Amino acid sequence: MSFEQWLTQSKPVIPVIVIGELSQAVPLAQALVAGGVRLLEVTMRTSVALAAIEKIAKEVPDAIIGVGTVTKAEHIQQANDAGAQFALSPGISEKLVTKSQDLALPFMPGVMTPADIIKGIEFGLQDFKFYPAEQAGGVNMLKAFAGPFENIRFCPTGGISEHNFKNYLALNNVMAVGGSWLCPRNLLQTGDWSAIEILAKQC
C-alpha cells in the first residue's frame, strides 16, 4: 500500500504520538481509529515505542501503524520487525532511504529545502514530510514549492494544530498533515480516551 491509497481510508491527519506507558498504546489507537483517524505515527522518542507499535499492530487491526522520529536506519529495521507499515523521519539521508527501500517500507523523509526535495527525487520519492512546517515557512513555503516540484506531495508537521491545519489541507500539494495536537500529553496521562476520540472526530 502507499500513502495515497491509505489516505482514501482515513482522515488526512496523522497524529504524532509520544507513548510514555505501554498501557496507553492500545486504548489510544482505538480512540483515534474510532474518530476516523487511522494513520498513526508512534515516535521513537520513548523506550516503549517499539513495543507500542507491536501491540497496536496486533491488537488494533483498523489502525495503519507507522513509526516516526526515525533518525537511524536501525530504527526502520526495528519498527518494520515490530509491524510498522510506514516510517517518517524529520530529515532525509541516503542510509534511511536505502533501508526503507530494501524493506519495501513506505517512507516519508523530512524536507525543508529544495535541495532536500531534489535529493529525495533522486531516490525516486514523491511524498515528503515538510518539517518543521510552521518554522520553515508554513503555507507560503509550500505554495512556493508547488512551482518547481509539480508532482511532489507533502505532509507538513511541526506547529500544526486545530487552528491552522485546514489552511494546509487546502493546498493541492498537501496530502495530509501531522501533529501532536490530537494526542495531548495531559489526556494521555489521565487516560481520557473519549476526549481523544472527540478530538479525532472534530478534525
**The only residue of 169, 180, 184, 201 in contact with ligand 3PG, by rule CB under 6 A:** 180
User: Is 69 near ligand 3PG (CB under 6 A)?
Assistant: yes
Q: By C-beta, is 99 or 129 nearer to ligand 3PG?
A: 129
Piece of the chain touching ligand 3PG by CB under 6 A; list 46-54, 94-102, 145-153, 174-182: 174-182
- For ligand 3PG, the closer CB: 69 or 80: 69
For the CB of residue 134, give the shortest distance to ligand 3PG in the complex, in Å.
7
Helix (H) or strand (E) holding 28: helix 25-34
- Identify the active-site residue in 11, 54, 129, 197: 129
Size of the site for ligand 3PG (CB under 6 A): 12
In whole angstroms, what is the distance from residue 41 CA to residue 160 CA?
15
The residue from 41, 54, 134, 197 that is catalytic is 41
Q: How far apart are the C-alpha atoms of 106 and 120, rounded to whole Å?
A: 13
Among 158, 168, 176, 193, binds ligand 3PG (CB under 6 A): 158
Residue 168 C-beta: closest distance to ligand 3PG, Å: 12
* Enclosing H/E stretch for 69: none
Distance CA 34, CA 51 (A): 22
For cell 476516523, name the residue. Answer: 36
Q: Report d(CA 153, CA 173) in Å as an integer.
A: 5
Whether 129 is catalytic: yes
Binding residue (CB under 6 A) for ligand 3PG from 7, 73, 82, 160: 160
21 is catalytic: no
Task: State how far the Cα of 14 lies from the Cα of 29, in Å rounded to an integer.
Answer: 12
Among candidates 146, 158, 200, which has minimal Cα distance to 37? 200
Strand, coil or helix: what is 116? helix
Q: Which residues are catalytic?
A: 41, 129
Binding site for ligand 3PG (CB under 6 A): 16, 68-69, 131, 157-160, 178-181
